[in-house]
Amino acid sequence: MSVHSAGSREVSRTAPMFAALGDATRLGLVARLGSEGPLSITQLTAGSAVTRQAITKHLTVLATAGLVSDLRRGRERIWELEPEQIEAARAYLEHVSKRWDEALDRLKEFVEK
């Protein structure tokens, strides 16, 4: 029976993702890639007080967590979101939401009986 090992695989998959998002700069990068689509380092650095090197470092952390990926276009690297991973980050809220659905079903039964 491997249900427990499936559970711990899930932990090792999601924990780095949440750690990666627990930083304002990285969260900002994810937000920009989410609203503007794939962007180059130059675009991501423009208008930011953070250096190109620092942005690259943050993107590497996000890539390690599976949240973003890059592809080389000419001399630039273009960064984009990995939607599947972002979707997984929403799983938490869905989980809490489901708990409310269950609780309200019990409330319905409780007050209507």
Partner 1 sequence: MTLHNTTDRIEKEIVLRAPQSRVWGALANAEEFGAWFGMKLEGDFAPGGRVRGQITLPGHGRVTIEIAIERMDPESRMSYRWHPYAVQPGVDYSSEPTTLVEFQLDEVAGGTRLRVVESGFDRIPAARRAEALRMNDAGWAEQLQNIARHVGS
Considering only 19-27, 35-43, 56-64, 77-85, which stretch makes contact with partner 1 by CB under 8 A?
Answer: 19-27
The single residue listed with the structure tokens 């249900």 is: 3
Q: Does 96 bind partner 1 (CB under 8 A)?
A: yes
User: Among residues 19 and 54, whose Cβ is nearest to partner 1?
Assistant: 19
Residues 73-92 that bind partner 1 (CB under 8 A): 89-92
Q: Does 19 bind partner 1 (CB under 8 A)?
A: yes
Residues 6+ away with beta carbon under 8 Å from 37 = 80
Residue 90 C-beta: closest distance to partner 1, Å: 7
Q: How many residues does the chain have?
A: 113
106 vs 21, 94, 97, 103, CA distance in Å? 35, 19, 14, 5
Residue 100 C-beta: closest distance to partner 1, Å: 5
Residues 6+ away with beta carbon under 8 Å from 61 = 20, 23, 26
Residues 26-55 that bind partner 1 (CB under 8 A): none
